[in-house]
Amino acid sequence: DGSLIEYADHLVDAVRTQVGQGQALCALSGGVDSSVCAALVHRAIGEQLTCVFVDHGLMRAGEPEMVAELFGKHFGMNLISVDAADRFFAKLEGVDDPEHKRKIIGEEFIRVFEEEKAKLGKLDYLVQGTIYPDIVESDSDKGVVKSHHNVGGLPEDVDFELCEPVKYLYKDEVRKIGEYLGLPHELVWRQPFPGPGLGVRVVGALTRDRVRMVREADAIFREEIAAAGKESEIWQYFAVNPGCRSVGVSDGRRTYGDAIVLRAICSTDAMSADVADLDIAFLSRVSTRIATEVAGVNRVMYDTTPKPPSTIEWE
Ligand code: XMP
């Protein structure tokens, strides 16, 4: 759409004018908004931008590698990748309340980011991928079901300014601008993935092993959905470790392992959702793969509950 491309070029110019000769820093999550924002600001100011990617150890399979490959190698950005998994797992040990987990993950993320920021010295602009719905929703977040949003403004004692080039755009506009800027289709159109990552897809206290199970199961589910050509019909599809164990049998021997839940939903705005109509043969094939290929898992279930009364995520 021509006018959106013109607008994207205008945003690039506006960032160049705003930042001038300054130094900008962007926290890259691998999500759509921060990725598009980083690509836009990079086009505007190139070397003056540094991106920090904090790997909390709760990413999906292949994501940290994708970020390094795309932003570091392909775009040639100044990219600092921090493997902070040990820190996050240490802070989260024994914590089973979902909101407490979110809080810890959010705070630790900021702490790691602040440390990297301090190492870089003088910073003039902090780039944020705030989009228009973030602003609107955080204004109306009265009866919060889950704490999703990071729109809190800046503390008063900082000596840098915010650069939020996509803050008046809706998600589909951000995606189109991302494609115009040369981001890959899979990234730009990827399904929503919560900031706390797999941390809210393991019910209860996290262990590295339970996160591993969910990550491997999720990768198999995604692979099968893609192979079946169903990606575009389904809003979100993922695996959950619900924290229950059951008896199974493998090579004639009793096993006692973890169960995995598959969730696939159709939605337009994540406010309500219908269960994706996946056939039993497909689900059974995915289940068998997961229960045989993922060590420690011996049972797979499909969540058939719409939203409401359930939420999309289990936590
Ligand atoms: P629920 O589970 O509330 O999810 O039905 C609605 C949408 O929000 C996503 N979600 C999150 N996104 N941080 C995020 O950035 C979070 O803590 C979080 N929790 C849920 C969820 O994936 C769905 O798209």
Question: For the segment 97-123, what is each residue's pLDDT rounded down to a tens digit?
Answer: 999 999 999 999 999 999 999 999 989
Model confidence at 265, pLDDT cuts 50, 70, 90, reads very high
Q: Report the nearest atom of ligand 1 relative to the CA of 236.
A: 24
Closest protein CA for atom 17 of ligand 1: 148
DSSP code, position 202: B
Q: Is 35 annotated as a binding residue?
A: yes
> Do both 11 and 134 map to the same domain?
yes
Across all residues in the chain, what is the average pLDDT? 94
> Do both 66 and 175 map to the same domain?
yes
Whether 292 and 249 have beta carbons less than 8 Å apart is answered as no
Task: Using the predicted structure, report yes or no on whether residue 142 has a pLDDT greater than 60.
Answer: no
Contacts of 11 by beta carbon, 8 Å cutoff, 6+ apart: 40, 165, 166, 177
> Do both 252 and 290 map to the same domain?
yes
Rg (CA), the chain: 20
Domain count, the chain: 2
Distance between CA 201 and CA 197 in Å, rounded?
A: 7
Ligand 1 pocket check for 192: Cβ under 6 Å:
yes
> Do both 97 and 245 map to the same domain?
no
| pLDDT score, position 154 | 65
> Do both 53 and 183 map to the same domain?
yes
Model confidence at 148, pLDDT cuts 50, 70, 90, reads low
Exposed (0-12), middle (13-18) or buried (19+): which is 288, by Cβ within 10 Å? exposed
Question: For the segment 273-289, what is each residue's pLDDT rounded down to a tens digit?
Answer: 999 999 999 999 999 99
Q: In sequence order, what DSSP letters do the residues of 24-44 get, joined into one string?
A: EEEEE-SSHHHHHHHHHHHHH
Of residues 270, 265, 259, 258, the one with CA closest to residue 303: 265
Distance between CA 285 and CA 224 in Å, rounded?
A: 9
Task: Using the predicted structure, report yes or no on whether residue 196 has a pLDDT greater than 80.
Answer: yes
Ligand 1 pocket check for 311: Cβ under 6 Å:
yes
| pLDDT score, position 157 | 75
> Do both 47 and 26 map to the same domain?
yes
Model confidence at 297, pLDDT cuts 50, 70, 90, reads very high
Task: Using the predicted structure, report yes or no on whether residue 1 has a pLDDT greater than 90.
Answer: no
Ligand 1 pocket check for 307: Cβ under 6 Å:
yes
Ligand 1 pocket check for 102: Cβ under 6 Å:
yes
Ligand 1 pocket check for 103: Cβ under 6 Å:
no
Closest protein CA for atom 12 of ligand 1: 194
Question: For the segment 86-97, what is each residue's pLDDT rounded down to a tens digit?
Answer: 999 999 999 999
Among the three residues 137, 158, 188, which one is the final residue of a domain in this structure?
188
To the nearest 5 percent, what fractions of the chain are helix, strand and coil?
A: 45, 20, 35
Q: Which domain holds residue 156?
A: 2-188
Task: Kindly give the distance from the C-alpha atom of residue 1 to the centroid of ligand 1, in angstroms, as a whole number.
Answer: 30
ipTM above 0.95, yes or no: yes
Closest protein CA for atom 4 of ligand 1: 312
> Do both 174 and 267 map to the same domain?
no
Tell me if 82 is assigned to some domain. Answer: yes
> Do both 174 and 245 map to the same domain?
no
Ligand 1 pocket check for 146: Cβ under 6 Å:
yes
Distance between CA 313 and CA 102 in Å, rounded?
A: 13
Q: Is 138 annotated as a binding residue?
A: no
Q: In sequence order, what DSSP letters do the residues of 229-265 get, joined into one string?
A: T-GGG-SEEEEEB-S-EEEEEETTEEEEEEEEEEEEE
Q: Quote the crossing angle between the two packed helices 85-92 and 98-120, to the nearest 10°.
A: 140
Task: Using the predicted structure, report yes or no on whether residue 147 has a pLDDT greater than 80.
Answer: no
Closest protein CA for atom 3 of ligand 1: 311
Tell me if 315 is assigned to some domain. Answer: no
Q: Which amino acid is at 162?
A: L
- State the residue for tokens 């491309």: 5
Q: Which amino acid is at 122?
A: K
Q: Is 232 annotated as a binding residue?
A: no
pTM of the predicted model as reported, rounded to 2 decimal places = 0.93
245-250 and 253-266 as β-strands: parallel, antiparallel, unpaired?
antiparallel
Whether 174 and 131 have beta carbons less than 8 Å apart is answered as yes
| pLDDT score, position 153 | 60
Whether 220 and 294 have beta carbons less than 8 Å apart is answered as yes
Structure tokens at 271: 């406010």
Residue 72's CATH number: 3.40.50.620
